[in-house]
Structure 1
Amino acid sequence: MDFSTLTAALASKSYDKIADVCDNLMLQVAAEGVSYQDEWPYAIHLIGHIYVDDINSARFLWKSIPSSVKENKPEVVAAWKIGQKLWTRDYGGVHEAIREFDWSQELQGLVAAYSGKLFRSHFSLTGLSRKSCIFKLYTRKMFQLLLSAYSTISIQDTALFLGMSEEDATSYVLQQGWAADPASRMLTVKKQPIVTEQKLDPSKLQRLTEYVFHLEH
């Protein structure tokens, strides 16, 4: 089976074209009556749809995948786990699903690009950093998200999520009772009693992002 167009799209980092390339290839081989199920790049196809926020198509594709493939190809299951978390707007779970699986080399670039795209899309870090009062609110809500999603997390990832330097992020979370291991550069999250008023509401965070967008434009 000729996957040269898909290989070229991945190599050129044309990630927004992956879903269409896979859909067209699937139609082509189906029209030719070629058996493709065992060798089809389902994980790439799923992440391709997820990358362009086409969760409905990803769900349809997942349902069409043979059970034998789901049982024997854990990367396919891992790809759909991202889709499941997105469906329920569990963005902390999305990042956890991305980080907990050891992705194949051909998928690493696509998954990493999607992770960055998701972060920029939902949290608009650049805009928030220009409005200090809003940024403080963003930081607090993102901190609550980290509390709910992680038990341990690297200093680098914490800094990314909080929109701070690694030094400032470490100082911030240490003030909240977290513990740091300088050798492994990992942070241990200190869970806090859940207060109803402080629960993270993804819809509120989305509205915050939209508000900042309007301020900046």
Structure 2
Amino acid sequence: MDFSVLNEALASKSFNKIADICDNLMLQVAAEGVPFRDEWPFAIHLLGHIYIDDINSARFLWKSIPPAIKESQPEVVAAWKIGQKLWTRDYAGVYEAIRGFDWTQQTQVLVAAFSELYTKRMFELLQSAYSTISIQDAAQFLGMSEEDASNYVLGQGWTVDPTSRMITVTKQAIVKEQKLDPGKLQRLTEYVFHLEH
């Protein structure tokens, strides 16, 4: 099996393409009637779906993985553990699953990228859902120590009250896109034309 396209995507850190590449390769293998072997990158395939937040596809992939592979490749089980935590919305558990396994060099880069992306998603979730939140809860959502979480949110422009141990969320300014009314544009064009002539 030629995994060069997958390896190129990993090397170029095009992690959002991993799931599609693996899905297409899997379809090619299935069309050729070749059984899946131990060399199939199931962990990377699962993590590719997890990276793009496609938990349903990851779940179906997990169910299709032969039991012998699940028993012989602990990294596949560890990748699915992240998916399980996402499925049950166990936000702190996602970080525990990420840190709870000694990933191979190839998957470690993808897991680290997912962890960073997941932290950004959690930050955006907190920003949209809360006006104030305790340092302890924010740390749990962000998968950090309380001190690291405080420093992280301070860096994002939020305020931390060390006495009450509460964080005040600063909402992002929403930039409204102005829609151009074609009638107004026509009148403006005619006006400018009239001034020039």
The answer to whether structure 1 residue 35 and structure 2 residue 23 are counterparts is: no
1:22 and 1:216, CA in 2 relative to 1: closer, same or farther beyond 3 A? same
Q: Percent identity?
A: 57
**8 Å CA contact 1:95, 1:115 repeated in 2:** yes
- Is 1:161 the counterpart of 2:157 in the alignment? no
Which residue is 2:59 aligned to? 59
1:122 offset after TM fit, Å?
1.8
2:96 counterpart residue number: 96
What are the equivalent positions in structure 2 for 1:39-188 lying under 5 Å apart? 39-124=39-124, 134=131, 137=133, 139-143=135-139, 145=140, 158-162=146-150, 163=152
Classify 1:158/1:40 alpha carbon distance in 2 versus 1 (closer, same or farther; 3 Å).
farther
Post-superposition offset of 1:139: 3.1
C-alpha deviation, 1:34, in angstroms = 1.7
CA distance in 2, matches of 1:20, 1:159: 38
Distance in 2 between residues matched to 1:160 and 1:48, nearest whole Å: 28
On the 8 A contact 1:6/1:18 being kept in 2, the answer is yes
Q: Distance in 2 between matches of 1:17 and 1:142?
A: 31
Matched AA of 2:26: M
Query: Which has the larger Rg?
Result: 2
Aligned to 2:187: none
Give distance in 1, aligned partners of 2:136 and 2:95: 18
Q: 2:195 — aligned with what?
A: none
Take 1:97 and 1:7, find their aligned partners in 2: how far apart are those partners? Answer: 24
Q: Which runs of 5+ in 2 are unaligned?
A: 155-161, 176-197
Aligned alpha-carbon RMSD (Å): 3.1
Structure 1: gaps of 5 or more residues: 166-171, 177-207
Quote the Cα distance in structure 2 between the aligned partners of 1:34 and 1:138.
54
Deviations 1:41-87 (CA, angstroms, capped at 9, x unpaired): 00000000000010000000000001001111000000000000001
Cα deviation code 1:4-48 (max 9, x no counterpart)? 000000000000000000000000111112222322100000000
The alpha-carbon distance between structure 1 residues 82 and 34, as it changes in their structure 2 partners (threshold 3 A), is same
Q: Output the TM-score relative to the length of structure 2.
A: 0.72
The residue identity in structure 2 corresponding to 1:212 is: K
Higher RCO by CA contacts (8 Å cutoff, separation 6 or greater): 1
Asked if the contact 1:49/1:57 (under 8 Å) is kept, the reply is yes
Question: How many angstroms apart in 1 are the aligned matches of 2:43 and 2:149?
Answer: 26
Contact 1:16/1:48, CA 8 A, preserved across alignment: yes
- The separation in 1 between residues aligned to 2:7 and 2:29, in whole angstroms, is 17
Instruction: State the alpha-carbon separation in 1 of the partners of residues 37 and 148 from structure 2.
Output: 39
Distance 1:108 1:69, change over 3 A: same
Q: TM-score, normalised by structure 1?
A: 0.65
